[in-house]
Structure formats: C-alpha cells, structure tokens
Structure 1
Amino acid sequence: MTQTFIVTGTDTGIGKTVFAAALAGALGARYWKPVQAGLDDGSDSERTAALSGLPIGHILPEAYRLVTPCSPHLAAEIDGVTIDLDRLALPQVDGPLVVEGAGGALVPVTRDILYADVFARWGKPVVLVARTALGTINHSLLSIEALRARGVAIHGIAFVGDPVEDSEATIAAIGKVKRLGRLPMLPELTSAALAQAFADAFDLADFA
C-alpha cells in the first residue's frame, strides 16, 4: 500500500507548505497540491520544488490552478471554473505521497464540500500543522474535533514556530494526538537548511 500523508493546517499562512516540503523531501515522496488558488506569488508546488530537494518529476501537477487568491470555492466561481470532485481522486504513484490541502481543514472546496470531507473520502492519515503563537490551542483543538467528527484519522500534530512547551503539550494531551515535532523559524529558508531542521526536529520513523 502506498504510504500517503495528507497535510492540513489550523489556519492559512502558518508554514504548512514549508512542512509539507520538508516531509516530502525527507521521505523522497511525490508531492501533490490538488487545488492551487492564487498564482501571483507563485504556486505552492513551485515553492515545494524549490525547498524539498525533490526531482521535478516528483512534483505532481495540480488538478486545478485558480488565479484568484482566496478560498478554492470562491476562486473557482470567480475564475469561471467548476471543481469536479472526481478530479480530486488521489493519484496512483510508486512510493510515498504527500498531499497538501489549502488553508485549514474546514476550507470549502466547493459550496457543498469542505477539505475535511475530501480527506474523509481519501481515507488516509492527516498530519495537522499548527503554529505555536497565541490562539493555537483553540485553533488546534477545533481542527482535531472537526477532523474526527468526519472519521478522519489524525497521524499527529506538527508545530511551526518558536517553542511554547505548555501549548504544544496541552494540545497533544487534550486532543489525544501524537506530538510529532516542531519546525523552528529559519533565518534563511533554503532546501539544505530546511532538511537539516526537519531531521533535527522530527523522527522519520514516525512516518514509516
């Protein structure tokens, strides 16, 4: 069975793509972002290609590339695109696969379907990425409840930011999720620096 991890976040702009790139690079995985909304600053796939150190062939093309930088459901409407859920079926690949959602777990893909609903259809474990800043306990526990309410398996939680021991431990304990590690904020975000930070902060055996 192909080793697949779905990467979602508690919010947007928290470092989810950086974590996904690090995980994909460490596993030598294929990376797939099903829906890209917003292209002015480049795509998450392009950023992952630059940060992961993966061969370009390991970065799979998006099912949808939407121009407007907002929630996929609205971006698709503005762009005049209808998102067909059949096109969001997980790709069949040889080896590990890392799939990145957009924003948080309850971001709408269409007017009727949230990302968490799509995750439930896929039936693969989710890694929840959370920042360590103020408010993360609430955001993280709400995300955990929303995923579990849909029967989505949570592989664990990965933090991004400066260490906040009590918040990280509290989320893991109350949410009953495995605390995988924490990526620090890097002074220079390069492929080599990210790979080293991931190796220092995470145990690859947790993703076996």
Structure 2
Amino acid sequence: MTTFLEQLFVTGIGTDVGKTLVAAILTEALQADYWKPVQAGLTPTTDTATVRSLVTNPVSRFHPEAYRLVLPASPHAAAAAENIRIQPERFVLPRTTNNLIVEGAGGLFVPLAPGFLLVDLLAQLQLATVVVSRNYLGSINHTLLTLEALQRRGLPIRGLVFNGEVTPATEEFILEHSGVPVMPRLRPEAVTDAAMVSRYAAEFRAWGLTPGSVGPHPRPLS
C-alpha cells in the first residue's frame, strides 16, 4: 500500500495576512512537520517559535531555518545587512517521513537574492500551495495576481484561505474568477492560542485535510 504525504507551501497575498497562523493550523491538522526556509527578524520571536507554541500534537517536528536573519525586512535586504548572499541551492526540503508545512516570507514576489524570488523557491521545491487572503482595499487584485502567478507557472494550488470578517462580494468574485478550491475560513478571534488552533485544525480535518488523507496533489512516500 502506498503512503501519501501532504507537503504544502503556505504563502500570503502580502504581509500580515495570517500566514503563520494558517501554517500552525495546518501543522496541527496534519500533525505535520514545519519548516520556515528564511526567517528575517528574530525579535520578539520567530515564526518557528510561534508555530511551535501553538501546536500541541506530539508528532510534529520543527526544522531549523536555512537562513536566520536579524533585520525584519525583505530577505535579500536582511541578508545584505549581514553581508550574506542567499544561495538557492541551500534550500533543500527537510528529510522527514511525515507531512510537511513550509511557510514562505511575505508574498510570492518577495526577493530572496538577485534574480531569485520567493515564487522561484516554490517552483524549486515543487510543493502545492495554500494561499492566505485577508480583505482590505486592493485585496481582490492582490489575491487574483497571486493565484494567476501560480497558475501561469503550472504550480498546484491546494486551496485558498480567507482570514477575517466574511465579505461575500469580494470572496465570491475571487472564487468565481480563479476557480480555486476554498478551504475553511479564519474568523476574527479575541485570543490566539493553542486551543484556538486546535479548534480550527478540527475544521480543516473535517474539510478533508487529515494526517491519513490523500489530497489532489499527493506526494508518494518512497
């Protein structure tokens, strides 16, 4: 019997749209490992530390970043501040027999190095993508541009997560125009903690994202 892995790349339509929270929920739902290839900004905490604090299952492992950069800025600028040049060949998926969640930095066109964008990293890793969208003025444009960039490159989209208050006119237009699957939404919450993440993880498992499930873009474990 073939075992299948969910290996998903979480990206957003920009910064501060809820990417790390969604990554934590997916990690909990799949009891997956987690990896952040580039961390830019180490205080007050890192995304890996945040996800670790929100995940309670005993299976997930948290793999070290390929690059840990001090400056909270675009990775290419944060690396330059430390006289570092990010090398694309250093981005190798962690060795694991578990499901894996990989979290990007900012949006798809964030520069990592000269001539190398986040979307180039995604193409290099060949993972299905979960796109996180939050409603604000301009978010329809940013969401559709993100989805079109993935589709034009032939990169699979596992689903779209809306984060925040329900905005039917915006969301219906995005879904009708793009045709991508919609995953459970995140609602405004008073507290972000492990209990909240566990509750949403149950919703994502009910949607069909479970440790033993086979998604539309499964990767066989050889």
TM-score, normalised to structure 2, is 0.88
Cα gap change, 1:88 to 1:136, in 2 (>3 Å): same
| Alignment equivalent of 2:163, drawn from 142, 160, 165 | 160
**C-alpha distance in 1 between matches for 2:206 and 2:118:** 27
Offset of residue 7 of structure 1: 0.3
**Aligned with 2:185: secondary structure?**
strand
Q: In the alignment, what sits opposite 1:68?
A: 71
Deviation digits for residues 154-187 of structure 1 (CA, Å, limit 9, x no counterpart): 1110111111122122111101111112111210
Native 8 Å contact 1:181 1:202 kept in 2: no
Mapping of residues 105-144 of structure 1, within 5 Å: 105-144=108-147
Equivalences for residues 16-165 of structure 1 within 5 A: 16-55=19-58, 58-165=61-168
Contact 1:36 1:43 in 2 (8 A): yes
Task: Confirm or deny that 1:5 pairs with 2:30.
Answer: no
Percentage of matched positions with identical amino acids: 38
Looking at structure 1, the residues matched to 93 and 16 of structure 2 have their Cα atoms a distance apart, in angstroms, of 24
Provide the rounded CA distance (Å) in 2 between the counterparts of 1:202 and 1:96: 14
Greater mean deviation of Cα atoms: 82-91 or 64-73: 82-91
Contact 2:26 2:204 in 1 (8 A): no
Moved more, 35-44 or 48-57: 48-57
Q: CA RMSD in A?
A: 1.7
Q: 1:77: Cα distance to partner?
A: 0.6
Shift of 1:43: 0.3
User: 1:98-142: CA deviations, max 9, x gaps?
Assistant: 000000111111121111111111111001011123322111001
Output the CA distance in 1 between the equivalents of 2:59 and 2:203. 25
Q: In structure 1, how many angstroms separate the alpha carbons of the residues matched to 2:89 and 2:176?
A: 37
Cα distance in 2 between the residues matched to 1:55 and 1:81: 35
Contact kept, 8 Å, 2:110 with 2:118, in 1: the verdict is yes
Q: Could you tell me whether the CA contact under 8 Å between 2:157 and 2:180 is conserved in 1? A: yes
Distance 2:201 2:172 in 1: 19
Q: Which amino acid aligns with 1:195?
A: S
The structure with the largest helix share of the pair is 1
Question: Could you give the per-residue CA deviations for residues 33-85 of structure 1, whole angstroms, max 9, x where no partner exists?
Answer: 00000012210000000112245961111111000110101110111112121
**SS across alignment from 2:169:** helix
Sort the Cα spacing of 1:49 and 1:206 in 2 relative to 1 into closer, same or farther, 3 A: closer
- In the alignment, structure 2 segments of 5+ residues that lack a partner are 214-222
Q: Which structure carries more relative contact order (alpha carbon 8 Å, separation 6+)?
A: 2
Which of 174, 195, 204 pairs up with 1:171? 174
C-alpha contact (below 8 Å) 2:34/2:60 kept by paired residues: no
Matched residues in 1 for 2:151 and 2:191: separation?
36
Normalising by the residue count of structure 1, what TM-score does the alignment of the two structures yield?
0.93
Q: How many residues align?
A: 208
> Is the Cα contact below 8 Å between 1:183 and 1:201 reproduced in 2?
no
